[in-house]
Amino acid sequence: MRTLDADVSKVAWNADGLAPVVVQQFDTLEVLMLAWMDAEALRRTLTGGRAVYWSRSRREYWRKGDTSGNTQKVHAVAVDCDGDTILLTVDQHGPACHTGTRTCFDGRGLTVAESE
């Protein structure tokens, strides 16, 4: 049986004790946003069933949706092959982006040159 501490120890935290989190809608696989977690945010996410992140600008934890109502119910959590990035699959209710768009990437595409 896996323990919470064993799961948290699978993450290779950066020098600031953080890891990037790619957040994806569980059923459409749409990438919603990128956020950051530390070990405590991951523990809260794994035990609470809702996404909890570390705000680098405010220097505090925030559970997605507590102020906006746009919650993220966690479906699965995984780490990549290097252990330095977390993938969170969620059921997003409302916009994921603080600007009010569905994802943090809506309308923000860059031009890619055609390849030969």
Rg (CA), the chain: 15
- The pTM assigned to this predicted structure is 0.91
pLDDT at 108: 83
pLDDT score recorded for residue 83? 96
Contacts of 78 (CB under 8 A, 6+ apart): 86, 87, 89
pLDDT value of residue 60: 95
CB neighbours of residue 91 within 10 Å: 12
Residues of the chain with pLDDT under 70: 1-2
Both structure tokens of 59: 């220097």
Q: What pLDDT was estimated at residue 2?
A: 65
Q: Among 3.10.20.810, 1.20.1730.10, 3.40.50.720, 3.40.50.300, what is the CATH number of 4-92?
A: 3.10.20.810
Q: What is the pLDDT of residue 97?
A: 94
DSSP 52: E
d(C-alpha 48, C-alpha 97), whole Å? 21
Beta strand residue intervals within 1-85, DSSP E: 19-25, 31-37, 52-55, 60-63, 72-79
The predicted structure's pLDDT at residue 95: 96
Largest interatomic CA distance in the chain: 52
